Structure 1
Amino acid sequence: MNIEELAIILQQGEGYNIEFKQAMPSKLKELAEEICAFANAAGGILVVGVDDNNSIKGVTINNVIRSRLQEAINLIQPRLEVIITEHEMKGKMIICLACKSGNQKPYTVSGNIFVRNGPNCEKITSVEQMREFFQQSDKIYFDEALCKKFSYSEDFDRTFFKEFLKLAKISSTLPEKVLLENLKLCANNDNFKNGTVLFFAKDVQKFFEQAIIRCVLFKGTDKRYILDDKVISGNLFSQYHEALKYIISKLNLSYEIESQKGGPRKEILEIPEVVFHEALINSLAHRDYYEKGANINVEIYDNRVEITNPGGLVHSISKNEFGKRSLSRNSLVFGLFERMDLVEKIGSGISRMRNAMHEANLPAPVFNLEGIFAVTFFRPIA
């Protein structure tokens, strides 16, 4: 790193890849934890001698300090390459410790895994955090794991697979097995992935009981009176269409004549259909399928529609990045929806929902990012 690059960093301030320390921490472990978190994320730079307000305070640099820095780095396991540079700015000395995203994740300090959560260093303490960390490290994506109970000869839905090929505009001239391998839907020896089962099993719920959508129509604005309750099963493509159909059937329609001379009438749903398309695809593609006791819920009240799915915001995306950056828990499932043109530009779904509600003169959708992910669309005031 040169002095010009450091000046830019100081101007930008702290963030996901940048951390400032006013002085050398008294405990080496604290320094090691910060660097460990960068290695487990996308890499980053720890700057010592700058406070949280981007003001240069400076630090003393001598052989004792250099030795302590190396001792801190040695606390990280497995061994990690960290580049240490010293710079003088405004007559004061600054130390920079930079590392890339490690290729031997997870990196630990005293047996603990540390990650970046937005601009902060955070120790992984929950099973959910642990699972998501390994998912983002390409270790245990649910849809990429193999479903050993699935039988290609007995359970594979060839009829829907042919329909998928048409929708995805994929030539069916190649042998079926070759197509499956090219689409990365199976591994060797007829081992099929969970994502393949979710899309192409004749009976998805035979393997994953939790992979359903429950749609409930309530009277009023709370859960006291249920007017209708429907469980939607089948493959994910079928679930998407059936859930969308259910929502539309329970909302109000108005009609608009497209010309003053009695042209064809245009149906207008009270809440734009596109927001439900986006919300359902997001729920099916991003939900946590490891959560066996939970399913996607669609709840329709007199004043709103709520769609919830298991699993909060993907751990490596901060709240500030929500709607700006996309990262799927189930990249195989997401890719299959994308091939069928049900997903547009990656990361643009949240913006489309917000824009559609704004154009319909309705309140902006409300998102809950903690624990169970939820989006609420408010109906027009009667």
Structure 2
Amino acid sequence: MQDEELAEIIRNLRTLGGDVSDVEVKKSQHELPKTVRETLSAFANTGGGVLILGLDETRGFAPTGVHDALKLSNDLASLCSTDMEPALRPLIHVHDFEGVKLVVAEIPELDPAQRPCFYRGAGMTKGSFVRVGDGDRRLSSYEVQIMLSSRGQPREDEQSVPGTGLDLLDPAMLEAFIARIRTSRPYAFKDLDRDALLRRARLLVTGPDGADSLSLAALIALGSYPQEHFPQLMISFVHYPPPTGDASAAGTRFLDNVTIEGPIPVMVRDALAAVRRNMSRRAVIGGAGRQDVWEYPETALREATVNALVHRDLSSAARGTQIQIEMYPDKLTIRSPGGLFGPVTIDNLTEEGISSTRNATLMRILEDVPIPGETRTVCENRGSGIRAMVAALRAAGMSPPQFDDRISSFTVTIPNHALLSEKTVRWIESLGERGLTDSQCIALAMLRDGEILDNRSYRSTAGVDSRVATAELQDLVARELVLQTGTRRWARYELSQRLRGRTSAGTSASTRADRRPQLLDALGDETLSRAELARRTGLTDQTVRRWLSIMREEGTVELVGSSPRSSTARYRQTRQGSLFPPADPQ
């Protein structure tokens, strides 16, 4: 880490007034505090982070420094390598900051196959922590179990259910599955007899007692009534009334309260039906004008429900927990037991090619089981469900889904909020900016509502990779629509100062700033670089770069020498540029 980057981190902490999820500071003038062990474990288990020793948070992150930086660095390195399991190898450096020395350690995130990281002296259960907000929280024994399961492929869905047989499966669904699997996967199943097919598909398995029985996957995918054996492997749907109004005044706790049972295909159908009958319609403004649509897009609901059912934790510790769908006036939440599995994280959840399946056998079965009344199967097993959900909400002009991975549970929240309402569309049009992408418009709408974005949340919103997200965010900064604070991983974006007072669609006149006169005045008869123009005008480098590109196409400035991408590139006015109207006096 460079000194400039450390200074920027501390500026951010002072601005925010507290620690953040990936930065922890400790006073630690003479020795390592015991809580360092908890922070090391938490960072290693939760995305990595930066530990800064020698700052006092209670005094506004004032630099107190460390007494013996070399000794403290060595003590920290020794603690990481000998007291933590698995051993950690952080980058530890001593920095000079505001007249004192700070010890800064960059703690790497552990691969899921190595988690949990814990303090050996306390043991795995008591010594394992995760980062929650700006603090460290000890993992429960169940959460430790969930992390351990990510070290390999869980097999709970292949476990036998003693005392069960083919008579407990829905006959029509079973025959449809057999017929479909012979056609869809002929190499593996076409020439097998019925008994061999059921064994290869892992519907029938041999239990510890040597007897044949149904696998858990077979029972919950094709069973007539799986809840006879596992009562909580179901869905509870609750529709809550508004916090105020006639329903709550009358003492009504729920507008609807349904227990959804049956095999997974039936639960998908019935869960969607329960949500539909509790939805209302809203207006969406698009290129074709006003259109009335349901509050939540069908695709988003289906993908969120299927993901919850297929990827839930099926271990014995979680079989007493149901999937919960809760509808509120302002949102819909779907919560399932068991957090994200394998290499999938909140950061890469919407990226193409990222997929991991906790219940691989269950997933393979459901690839060939249709939802009752439909031709489509329950799932595709292509890792595209989350992206389809995001795309459906984006197409409907709604806020993107919010994901919360708590290790022991995973929650999808779909806000009941039309980002691109008629009023918002008018406001974006009033900005006078051409060439904005759909995702940039949605980002502007979110910022207009007071949200602050970073690269990760923009990726989630737009369904794009990090490279595209960075380019589109930098374009918004260059247009002076968005203000960037911080750099690299700490970059945050909010609505620019000149737009904050113009969030009303009724504001007349474009808020677009024309920087051509200002740049031409700064150039005069000289030949200047982008950096020199930025200093003279007070504009950001992104804004100067954008307007120079526009002016080169117009012919009012010309490039001298290097490529425009080079920091040494220089510009000068053309004869056409000298005829341009002068800048307004400031």
Bin for the TM-score computed over the shorter chain: 0.5 to 0.7
Aligned partners of 1:70 and 1:307: how far apart in 2? 43
Q: Is the 8 A contact 2:221 2:366 kept in 1?
A: no
Name the structure 2 match of 1:76. 83
> Are the structure 2 counterparts of residues 160 and 23 from structure 1 closer, same or farther at C-alpha, using a change threshold of 3 Å?
farther
String of CA shifts for 1:201-224, please: whole Å, max 9, x gaps: 443223311122355789974573
Name the structure 1 match of 2:539. none
Higher deviation after alignment, 174-183 or 108-117: 174-183
Aligned partners of 1:64 and 1:225: how far apart in 2? 61
Aligned partners of 1:213 and 1:36: how far apart in 2? 35
Instruction: Choose which of 155, 164, 173 in structure 1 pairs with 2:190.
Output: 173
Instruction: Choose which of 34, 51, 67 in structure 1 pairs with 2:39.
Output: 34
Name the structure 2 match of 1:261. none
Q: Is the 8 A contact 1:132 1:314 kept in 2?
A: no
Instruction: Choose which of 129, 142, 154 in structure 2 pairs with 1:115.
Output: 129
TM-score (norm 1): 0.62
Runs of 5+ unmatched residues, structure 1? 255-265
Aligned partners of 2:349 and 2:359: how far apart in 1? 17
Deviation at 1:29, TM superposition (A): 2.3
Deviation at 1:173, TM superposition (A): 2.0
Q: Is the 8 A contact 1:28 1:71 kept in 2?
A: no
Larger Rg: 2
TM-score (norm 2): 0.45
Higher deviation after alignment, 319-328 or 123-132: 319-328
Query: Are 1:197 and 2:225 an aligned pair?
Result: no
> What does residue range 148-167 of structure 1 map to in structure 2 within 5 Å?
148-149=161-162, 151=164, 155=168, 158-159=174-175, 161-162=177-178, 165=181
Name the structure 2 match of 1:96. 105
Q: Is the 8 A contact 2:42 2:136 kept in 1?
A: yes
String of CA shifts for 1:124-174, please: whole Å, max 9, x gaps: 2545544544455559x685573442646555664253366389x433426
Aligned partners of 2:30 and 2:177: how far apart in 1? 58
Aligned partners of 1:192 and 1:104: how far apart in 2? 32
Runs of 5+ unmatched residues, structure 2? 11-18, 283-290, 369-378, 419-586
Aligned partners of 1:201 and 1:240: how far apart in 2? 14
Deviation at 1:234, TM superposition (A): 2.0
Name the structure 2 match of 1:278. 303
Name the structure 2 match of 1:259. none
Q: Is the 8 A contact 2:333 2:414 kept in 1?
A: yes
> Are the structure 2 counterparts of residues 49 and 273 from structure 1 closer, same or farther at C-alpha, using a change threshold of 3 Å?
same
If asked which structure has higher relative contact order (CA below 8 Å, sep 6+), I would say 1
Report the AA paired with residue 394 of structure 2.
Answer: N
Aligned partners of 1:274 and 1:349: how far apart in 2? 7
Instruction: Choose which of 258, 261, 269 in structure 2 pairs with 1:241.
Output: 269
Report the AA paired with residue 118 of structure 2.
Answer: Y
> Are the structure 2 counterparts of residues 96 and 252 from structure 1 closer, same or farther at C-alpha, using a change threshold of 3 Å?
closer
Greater helix share, 1 or 2? 2
Report the AA paired with residue 137 of structure 2.
Answer: K
Name the structure 2 match of 1:355. 394
Higher deviation after alignment, 303-312 or 230-239: 303-312
Aligned partners of 1:328 and 1:241: how far apart in 2? 24
> Are the structure 2 counterparts of residues 355 and 243 from structure 1 closer, same or farther at C-alpha, using a change threshold of 3 Å?
same
Aligned partners of 1:24 and 1:184: how far apart in 2? 60
Deviation at 1:238, TM superposition (A): 2.0
> Are the structure 2 counterparts of residues 152 and 61 from structure 1 closer, same or farther at C-alpha, using a change threshold of 3 Å?
farther
